Amino acid sequence: MGIAAYIKVIGRGKDGARPLSREQAHELLSQVLDGQVTDLEIGAFCLAMRIKGETPDELIGFLQATTERCIDLRPALAAAPRGVVLLPSYNGSRKLPNLTPLLAWELARRGVGVLVHGPAQDPTRITSSQVFAAAGWPRVKDAAQLAACWQAGQPAFIDIADLCPSVARLLDVRWTVGLRNPAHTIVKLLDPFALNGPEGGHADATPRLRVINHTHPEYGESLAGFIALSGADALLMRGTEGEPVADARRQPRFDVFLRGQRQGSLSRAPVEGVLVSLPDLPEGREADVTASWIESVRHDLRRLPASIEAQADCLVQALIQAGSA
């Protein structure tokens, strides 16, 4: 069928390109994910969107196409009656230790069902999957394994290659062309439990929150536009090296959205001022060092960083509010 007509619309440069409708974005990415286009077309799509940037409507269309191709994890929701937090872990650790698994364990300790999803490996960074593997923590492949983790009070990690193989292949295009593409944004917005795409997330009784993080303030504004337009339940924040966990050194701003509306009473201002001391952190960023340090926090041998504790508090309070809405 081909996507040349769409590339003609989005590929005219930063000033000449036009946005796609939600329906067009859904059709375009469906063809890409289903392997109905050539490698040359995929490369053109990735580069064109990299230059143009995604609109909220395009993100909704892309996300719906991706959600439709995820494995069905909905049967596991019965094992998480207090709600679910989704932690998209795609950037990994470059300089700082990856503490996304620590946030996952703290939320699980509070009775929340936690699903961390992301790549198994990244040649340039330490992934959450590697931290989970180093500690022997649960990594799952289907709804039954996920439910078993939650029933045992444990967080779970799922490889994006198991959750949605077609979008995992699109993520891997980065290693060929050298640049990120829309898939890297889409997976950070993903709710695989949504029944009918990004706007179908409230069709069941289990409250769910996505932690959506950004690295640049202007990107945060576009993501806030997506959240509002799609009516999502989410915590929007500046991530730590692109990870959905608060910087252990200083709490960032937390903006909580329920059904797309910012909730001032649940959101939190950032901690400002000069750092007078640094928290106790792992001595290295290696997966085994990080996993061992997290275990020491879990067993009360070290203190949970205040910023991560504040993030967990914020998420639990938001889940309670979402469940009562």
* pLDDT above 50 (res 291): yes
Q: What is the mean pLDDT of residues 279-298?
A: 94
Question: DSSP alpha helices (H): ranges in the chain?
Answer: 4-10, 13-16, 22-33, 39-52, 56-67, 100-109, 128-135, 143-151, 160-163, 165-171, 174-177, 182-186, 217-230, 287-298, 306-324
Q: Quick check: 141 and 9 in contact, CB under 8 A?
A: no
How many residues in total does the chain contain? 325
Report which residue type is found at 248: A
Confidence of residue 203 (pLDDT cuts 50, 70, 90): very low
Count the Cβ atoms, other than its own, within 10 Å of residue 288: 14
Model confidence pLDDT, tens digit, residues 248-271: 999 999 999 999 999 999 999 998
Burial-class residue 51 by CB neighbours within 10 Å (0-12, 13-18, 19+): middle
Model confidence pLDDT, tens digit, residues 29-41: 999 999 999 999 9
- Single pTM value for the model: 0.94
Mean pLDDT (the chain, rounded): 93
pLDDT score of 274: 62
